Amino acid sequence: MKNAPRRIDRVGGVIIRRLGRSDYASTWRAMQDFTSARDATTGDEIWLTEHSPIYTLGLAGRREHLLRDNGIAVIKADRGGQVTYHGPGQLVLYTLFDLKRLRLGVRDMVRSLEAAVINWLESHAVAAHGKPAAPGVYVTRNGRESKIAALGLKVRKGCTYHGLAVNIAMDLTPFSDIDPCGYPGLAVTQLCDVGPHRTVEEAGDELGPIVALTLGSR
């Protein structure tokens, strides 16, 4: 991993590492290495970070969902889902969990992550919901359903990596050059437009422990 963790906490038996700004590719490789090396005794971890501008295509990602070339790099990743955008002002929360130990299926994991984000948003008086057919978290802005958090996982050896991307206070313009998550015309929003202002670091300090307690207490 390019950046050493700025701070490490333990919440509900889960280690939370705060990486600050990190390089997408090197962080992805570090997640793969961590998952390959772990065994039944390895503790679960959450990595909090944000990335420089980059588009990522999931395993099923189709390049026709990249509508225009705007100079932002595109990388093919091994997570589920279609295309999404990462950039400064977005909280990326990587979830490295042993599903076998937690006795969770992938769908249960997805619903648990969505529930954690929904609970966090509702603590700030922001009503939010998930959609079984379209993973992620949605809110209503200006009378329109808008996505505020995207979700994509990879499962290897019964363990997950990749995770959540939550829009906090960022330039949303790059989303207009793709079909977000593969859905043409999907509206995208962020916390600062529907709720309180938070930095990425502050949002991570709030949301990370909620995710840890939602999953680690099982």
Q: Which pair of structure tokens corresponds to residue 5?
A: 């963790």
Instruction: Return d(Cα 28, Cα 47) in angstroms, integer.
Output: 11
Note down pLDDT in tens along the chain; length 218 residues: 445 566 789 998 999 999 999 999 999 999 999 999 999 999 999 999 999 999 999 998 899 999 999 999 999 999 998 999 999 999 999 999 999 999 999 999 999 999 999 999 999 999 999 998 899 999 999 999 999 999 999 999 999 999 999 999 999 999 999 999 999 999 999 999 999 999 999 999 999 999 999 997 55
pLDDT number for residue 217? 55
What single-letter DSSP state applies at residue 43?
P
E runs forming strands in 51-136: 54-57, 74-76, 83-86, 90-96, 129-130
Beta-strand pair 159-167/187-188: unpaired
| Helix runs in the chain, H state only | 24-37, 99-102, 106-123, 191-194, 200-216
Q: Which pair of structure tokens corresponds to residue 91?
A: 């909280």
Instruction: Return d(Cα 130, Cα 134) in angstroms, integer.
Output: 8
What single-letter DSSP state applies at residue 217?
T
Spatial neighbors of 90 by CB under 8 A, at least 6 apart, are 50, 51, 165, 166, 167, 168, 170, 200
pLDDT number for residue 17? 97
Can you name the residues that pair with 142 across neighbouring β-strands? none
Q: Is the dihedral of CA 193, 169, 203, 115 positive or negative?
A: positive
Beta-strand pair 137-141/83-86: unpaired
pLDDT number for residue 131? 93
Q: Which pair of structure tokens corresponds to residue 40?
A: 């039944």
Is the distance from CB of 170 to CB of 87 less than 8 angstroms?
yes
7-216 under CATH 3.40.50.720, yes or no: no
pLDDT number for residue 7? 77
| Integer angstrom CA distances of residue 93 from 39, 102, 121, 136, 144 | 22, 19, 15, 13, 26
> Amino acid identity, residue 214?
T
> What residue ranges do the domains of the chain occupy?
7-216
Instruction: Return d(Cα 160, Cα 94) in angstroms, integer.
Output: 9
> Amino acid identity, residue 211?
V
pLDDT number for residue 130? 96
Residues belonging to the active site: 181
